[in-house]
Amino acid sequence: MKDFIKFTFASVLGVVLAGIIFTILGIVTMVGMVASSDTETVVKENSIFILDLEGTLSERVQDNPFQTLMGEENQAYGLDDILASIQKAKDNEDIKGIYLQTAFLETSFASLEEIRHALLDFKESGKFIVAYADQYTQDMYYLASVSDKIIVNPQGSISWHGLASQPIFFKDLLKKVGVEMQIFKVGTYKSAVEPFIATEMSDANREQVTAFLSSIWERLLEDVSASRNIPVETLNKYANEMMDLQPAETYLANGLADTLLYKDGVLDYLKEISGREADESLRTLSLEDMKNVKRNTPLDKSGNIIAVYYAFGGIDDSTSPEEGINSEKVIKDLRKLREDETIKAVVLRVNSPGGSAYGSEQIWREVVLLKEKKPVIVSMGDYAASGGYYISCAADYIVANPTTLTGSIGIFGMFPNMEELLTDKLGLHFDMVKTNKFADMGTLARPFNSDERAAMQNYINNGYKLFVKRCADGRGMSVEAIEKIAEGRVWTGATAKELGLVDELGGLNKAIEIAAQKAEVEAYSLLTYPSKESFFSSLMNEGKSNYIEGQLMETLGEAYPSIKFIQNVKDMDRIQARMPFDLRIQ
C-alpha cells in the first residue's frame, strides 16, 4: 500500500511539474513571438523584397496568433500592408528591387489595380521588378505585366483567355427540400435575388454583367498593352487562342514573357542584378519582414492628422472571419473622428457589396454629420455597391478604381416560405389565434397573403425612394437623373465616373491626396482606424475562431463564400441593399 501511494504521488507530482514546465515554455514562446513581431527589421545592402502572393487578399488583415503558434505561414494578405511595404522598398536605398512571385491570389481586379499602381510608382525609383511563376493565373499575369522582366518556367504557362462570370442558382435545390423564397424588390437589374427564384440570368442581369465584364476586360487589355507594348487587338487575339494551353516558347514569341528559366536560374539571375556573387546567398525580405522595416520619412510635427477609416465586408452581416461592417461600431468610431479636432479630414475606405438597408442608413447619417465638421473623401476598393454606395454617397468626393464595382442602387427583401418542408415533408401542422390582421405576418409556416405582400412591397418601395433621394442629395443630382442609372444596376468605376456617381479614378493614395487638399493642410500625419488588435488581444478574443475559419477558407476555396452565406442567412436583415451575393469573375 505504501508503494502504491508513493508511486501515485510521484506520478501526480510528475504531471504537475510537466504542466508547470510546459506552461512556462508556452509563455516564454509567446513572449518571444510578441517580441520578435515588434522587432525592427534590419535591411542589409543589396537586399531584394520578395512579394510572394499565394492565398487571399483583404483590405486589412489582423495577424492571427493561433496561426503563429501553429508555425504556419500567413496565407491572408492585407492590401494596406502590401502597399506600405512597396513604398518602404522604394524609399530604402539598400533594397535593390522587388521579386514578384505569383501563384494564386483570391481577390478582385480593383485591388490588383492598386498594387499595380504602387509597383509602377516603385519603378520610378529606377529599381527593378522581376516576376516569376510556374503557372501565371490571368489576374496574376495582369499584375506581373508591370515587371521589367517576366520569367516563365520552361514547362509553365500563362493564363490569358478573357473574363467570364458564372453565378450559381439555388431555386431547384430549394424546391427539392420544400422551401420557396418570397421576393420583394425594386430595380430591374437587382439581381441578388435571382439565384433563389430562377435557374438562369434574366435578360437585364445578362446585360449588366456583359457591360461591366467588358469594361473590366478593356481595362486589363489597356494596362497590359501599355506595359508589354502589345496592341490591344493582338492581346484579344491571344485570348481567343487560349494561351493557357500553349507551350512556354509561345509566350516568348508573342511577347507575353521575356525568358524561360527554372527556379535555380531565377535565383542566379536575382543574384546578378542585385550585386551578389554567385557563391553568395541572396539577401531577401518577406512581406512580414517589410512590415517591421522603419519608414524613412520623419514623423510629422504639425499635429494635423488625416484619418483613413476602413469599412469593408458585408454591412451588419459578415461573410469572413476578418471582415464585416458593424453599423453600431462604425457609427461610434466616426463620431469619435468627428469630435477629434486634431483630425482634419477623413478618408472612408469602402470595400463592401452592401447588406442591411437599415444599417446603411445609420452609417449614412453619421457620414453626413462628419462632413459638417471636416472633409470626407471616399476611396472605393473592389466593391462599393448597393449599401456600400449608400454609405458613400454623402461624402464630399468619391474616388474609385476603374474596375471597382459600384452603383447597384436598389433594395430587396427575401423571406422563406417553408410550408411544404414543415407540413408535407416533416409532418408538422400549425394553428393560429391572433388579435389583429397582421399579427402572424412573417411566419415560416405559410406564404404571405395578398395584403401582406402589398404591405411589404410598399415598404420596399419607400426604402428605394429614400435610397435614391440620399444619392441625389449627396451627388447634387436630381432624383430623376439618379433613377435613370439606378434600378439596381452595377457599374464599373470607369462608367460610374461618366455617369456622375464617382468624381475621380484612382486608388487610396489619390483619395488621401485630395483629402489633404480639401482640408488645406500641407503637413500631416496619416493614421488608420480602427486600430488593429495586439497579439495578446487577438489571442484572447477571437484568434481561435478566426484561425478555424481561415482554415475553412483555405480548404474550401471558391466554395467558401456560398457555404458561409447559407450559414449567415438566418442572421441577416431581411431588407437588403446589396449586390449579387456570389459574383464570380474568372
Write the pLDDT tens digit of every residue in 335-393.
999 999 999 999 999 999 999 999 999 999 999 999 999 999 999 999 999 999 999 99
* Predicted TM-score of the model (pTM): 0.86
| pLDDT tens-digit series, residues 265-318 | 999 999 999 988 888 899 999 999 999 998 766 667 778 999 999 999 999 865
Which alpha helices (DSSP H) does 245-402 contain, by range?
248-254, 263-274, 287-291, 327-339, 357-373, 387-390
**Paired residues of 487 in beta bridges:** none
When the pLDDT of each residue in the chain is averaged and rounded to a whole number, the result is 86
Return the pLDDT at 543.
47
Q: 386 an active-site residue? A: yes
Look at residue 24 and tell me whether its pLDDT is greater than 90: no
Which tens digit of pLDDT belongs to each residue from 492-513?
999 999 999 999 999 999 999 9
Residue 87: pLDDT band with limits 50, 70, 90 = very high
User: Is 545 labeled as catalytic in the residue annotation?
Assistant: no
What pLDDT, on a 0 to 100 scale, did the predictor assign at position 22? 52
pLDDT mean over 312-334: 81
Residue 555 scores a pLDDT above 70: no
At residue 124, the pLDDT reads 95
Q: Residue 346: what residue type?
A: V
- The residue whose grid cell reads 508573342 is 254
List 190, 344, 510, 564, catalytic entry:
190
* Cα dihedral 53/57/63/65 (nearest 10): -80
Alpha helix segments (H runs only) across 411-523: 419, 450-475, 479-485, 493-499, 508-519
Asked whether the CA dihedral 528, 529, 533, 534 is positive or negative, the reply is positive
Q: Of the residues 318, 327, 360, 386, which is catalytic? A: 386
pLDDT tens profile 111-140: 999 999 999 999 999 999 999 999 999 999
